[in-house]
Amino acid sequence: MFVANHTSMTDIMLMFYATKNPFVFVGKKELAKIPLFGYIYKRTCILVDRGNTKSRVEAFRRAEIRLNEGLSVCIFPEGGVPDDLSILLDEFKDGAFRLSIEHQIPIAPMTFHDNKKRLPYSFFIGSPGKMRAKIHQLIPTTNLTLENRKELKKQTRDVILGELLNASV
């Protein structure tokens, strides 16, 4: 289960670049409306309408199918990019951690340092330059139960947040 902080449209591309394992994204349905990108996105991702319970359940079921087929799954656990650019790392949702525990697969945390500076979701802001990705040690889920998902979620968030706070610019 790949998880990373979510700050930019470039997060998706950097995830593909930094990850060698085949995986499928779970992502918000609204992005399928973007010209050209949306065409590819809706054919390669598991789409979810976060405001619709039925859609969330269906996305979870489809992610389980992909995991059973041997693919990895990538979820940005913040559930979206915060509108407030000052937020370094938003709170995490439970989905990635629930799937990881139920399938006893490790969490692969990743930190994207520069994407917000390079191409944030705000117009007329950004700059060219490097985009660094830090791939952290796997966090095992062996013998964890769903009762442990909050601790797993906190542990993963702490790894990513610690890297963001301590990274050299």
Supply the CATH number for residue 106's domain: 3.40.1130.10
Pairing of strands 2-4, 23-28: unpaired
Helix, strand, coil shares of the chain as percentages rounded to 5? 45, 15, 40
Position 121 scores a pLDDT of 66
Domain residue limits at 47 = 2-166
- Distinct helix (H) and strand (E) counts, the chain: 6, 6
Q: Please provide the average confidence, as pLDDT, over all residues in the chain.
A: 88
Rounded to two decimals, the pTM is: 0.86
- Split into its structural domains, the chain has a count of 1
Chunked into runs of 10 residues, the chain (169 residues) has average pLDDT values of 88 85 88 84 86 88 91 90 80 93 95 80 74 93 96 98 83
